[in-house]
Structure 1
Amino acid sequence: MKLSVIILNYNVRYFLEVCLKSVVAAIQNIDAEIIVVDNQSSDDSCTMVKTLFPEVNLIENKENFGFSKGNNIGVSQAKGAYVCILNPDTVVAEDTFEKLLKFADIQPKLGAVGCKLIDGTGGFLPESKRNIPTPKVALKKILGQDELYYANGLNEHSTGEVEVLVGAFMLIKREVYLAVNGFDEDYFMYGEDVDLSYKILKAGFKNYYFGDTTVIHFKGESTLRDKEYAKRFNGSMQIFYRKHFKNNVLVEQLVGLGIKGLTVLNLQPKIENRVVKSVVLISKKQNINLNVALGCKVQLKPKMEIVEDHQQYILDNNWLTFKEIIQILEQYKTNKTLTFRILSKQSNFILGSDNTVSKGIVVHF
């Protein structure tokens, strides 16, 4: 088997459904399997998977084991030569895996490869490609200097070697994953992707950023930026420094204090609400139920034509491919007044996200 897609889920049933639909479409020409590991969700995620995706290997954990252990459980049952660690609040294009596998197959000493991630407004997520947060890099970031933290030397549309990939999307050779013992289970959430990327490099393999395919990551959906987030993020970074930079105790303490201060300052990020003056459905068929659900008249257009400020665009996956939806978000990302929602194929809900720090939006009709 060529590919195993591992999706760790926790209480994001509707985002998981759209994610799975995109993955199913993307593996049509690949010998692949999908493994969903559920960390004791209290919503009906598992029922949805069993009903709509009976071909998926569903693992129902009896407790929330966290990100690292949950994904390790999934990989332990994987059969693919490659495993893709994928967040449930993502949408992949129909050709994402084909492009990445073609690239990965010809790279000597490949460890892991990531791709271009965008948020729900089309904005590029710089954590798609990062550098190792050495004490020097971390201290500079704390002081507001990001040029060393992100791999800015590599253009977001380019392809090349990078040090750190983000856990929302990591394509890894399964033998490499097992050789470095996968995600370190000392991390419950956050920091484990940095740790894994670093372990891969130290084992003599190479990590790559691939800028020729784009994946939506509704960042902020799986976890809110609250006090618990700050606590876990701080704890994860402390683990990382103890494991990999333990010889420099003074710097570790300074970085630790800086991280604590940084997370406290960022607990209440500024969120600019986008005003919606009109709603447009990009589809070939009107859906009158949307008018009722949204409390307004929804215009129908077959494609993005005249774009006006403060419009919300509902992108119908019954009409548009996932790749076309992704391309629309990227095309109009500079207009900060627009919002986007995805109408899931053969479903009665729309979803999206207007920022990267609060929960995404799901509207039923």
Structure 2
Amino acid sequence: MQLSIIILNYNVRYFLEQCIKSVQSAIEGIDAEIIVVDNNSQDDSAEMMKNLFPQVCYIANQENLGFPKGNNIGVKRATGKYICILNPDTVVAEDTFHKLLALFERKAKLGIVGCQLIDGRGGFLPESKRGIPTYWRSFMKVSGLYRLFPSSVLVNGYYASHLPADKNGPVEILVGAFMFMPRKLYLELGGFDERFFMYVEDTDLSYSSLKQGYENYYYADTTIIHYKGESTDKDLEYVKRFHRGTQIFYEKHFRKSYVFDVLMRLITFVFLFSKQKKKGDKVATVSHTIVVSENPKVRERIEKTLQRSLQRVESLHGLEEIIKEKKGINGDLVEIIFDGDYLTNKEIITFMHKNYRSEIIYKIKPVNSLFLIGSNDSNSKGSVIILEE
């Protein structure tokens, strides 16, 4: 077996369906397996897996065991030479795994490899590549001061500013939403440290790989969607878990600093409240919706569900010409819906990234599905719209 893809699910049934379908397209021609571990989801994830993906290995935990333990359980069942830890709220391109397997054939002593991640609006996610979170870097990040000098290695070392987003190169830390590595390395490192529950365990694993003499690597030549907001609620529980994770990491790898700990507590709570939407904030409305599909019935079904008129185009080139003119007016938005039965995931991802704009939002109708899925930014929850029959 060449490759095992481990997907840990928790209450994101529709995102999981889209993710698995994208993975199935991406492993064509590869001797690969998909392993889904479910952390006691209370939605109909289990029924969906049984009905749509009976051939996929599905492990149902009886409680939420957290991110590290859930993934460790999946890797124990894996038989691939390589593994990919993959979030369920992601969409991979058809050539993603092929490119990464080829990369490992070319480069020796590779450790963990990540790729370029974009959010549901097409914007680059800076956590795709990061530096070791020293006290100074963490302070710059959590305080938001890194935004003042985003290209400064000194101020923005947390997000590995030495390496442009579109360039390949060694980095220190990679994000747990997508981690590709030899299974032998994962086992050598002991997998994710189960003292963590969620957050910072990816930093710990990446740093452990570096300490063993491996080169972690950011590979920008393939891009995937990570809706992110679907799996990350910026609430009090998030703050507690993130703070606890940083404590475990620093106690494990650095000398504990009580002054820094108090400072981080203060700043993280400020961060929490800054993420909350203010009451009375104007919510932008959709002024124009475009469906990219060759099938008129897809447009009719979406129109019936949304109860508004849509424009249909059959080419991405034609779509680009339209959006040059259809820009948001007075804060309104242009909505683009991709038909996954007509376009490849790579075509969709490439278009979203190339045409990232504040006035454009995207939704996808996954292949052989009757729902739309999308996320308007990297912080808000993703949305799912069930299409009427």
Q: Is the 8 A contact 1:104 1:113 kept in 2?
A: no
Distance 2:365 2:227 in 1: 15
Q: Is the 8 A contact 1:81 1:175 kept in 2?
A: yes
> 1:306: which partner in 2?
322
Q: Is the 8 A contact 2:10 2:39 kept in 1?
A: yes
Q: Does 1:232 align with 2:241?
A: yes
Alignment of 1:161-200 (within 5 A): 161-200=170-209
Offset, 1:274: 3.8
Q: Is the 8 A contact 2:243 2:265 kept in 1?
A: no
Give aligned pairs, total. Answer: 363
Q: Is the 8 A contact 2:371 2:384 kept in 1?
A: yes
Distance 1:152 1:129 in 2: 9
Offset, 1:253: 2.7
* Helix, strand or coil at the partner of 2:83: strand
Offset, 1:257: 3.2
* Helix, strand or coil at the partner of 1:253: helix
More displaced stretch, 266-275 vs 199-208: 266-275
Distance 1:272 1:242 in 2: 44
Distance 1:232 1:25 in 2: 35
Q: What per-residue deviation string (whole Å, max 9, x for no partner) do you get for residues 60-85 of structure 1?
A: 01110010000000001100111100
TM-score, normalization by structure 2: 0.90
Distance 2:267 2:138 in 1: 8
TM-score, normalization by structure 1: 0.96
Q: Does 1:205 align with 2:214?
A: yes
Amino acid at match of 2:310: V
> 1:353: which partner in 2?
375
For structure 2, list consecutive stretches of 5 or more residues without a partner in the other structure.
147-155, 328-332
The counterpart of 2:276, out of the listed 268, 276, 287, is 268
> 2:144: which partner in 1?
144
Alignment of 1:64-143 (within 5 A): 64-143=64-143
For structure 1, list consecutive stretches of 5 or more residues without a partner in the other structure.
none
Q: What per-residue deviation string (whole Å, max 9, x for no partner) do you get for residues 205-225 of structure 1?
A: 110000100000001102311
Amino acid at match of 2:339: D
Aligned-pair RMSD on alpha carbons?
1.6
Q: Does 1:253 align with 2:245?
A: no
Q: What per-residue deviation string (whole Å, max 9, x for no partner) do you get for residues 185-234 of structure 1?
A: 11100010001000111111110000100000001102311111111111
Offset, 1:262: 4.3
More displaced stretch, 154-163 vs 304-313: 304-313
Q: Percent identity?
A: 50
Assess, with a 3 A threshold, how the Cα gap between structure 1 residues 216 and 115 changes in structure 2: closer, same or farther: same
Q: Does 1:328 align with 2:373?
A: no
Q: Is the 8 A contact 1:3 1:82 kept in 2?
A: yes
Q: Is the 8 A contact 1:238 1:256 kept in 2?
A: no
Distance 2:141 2:338 in 1: 37
* Helix, strand or coil at the partner of 1:7: strand
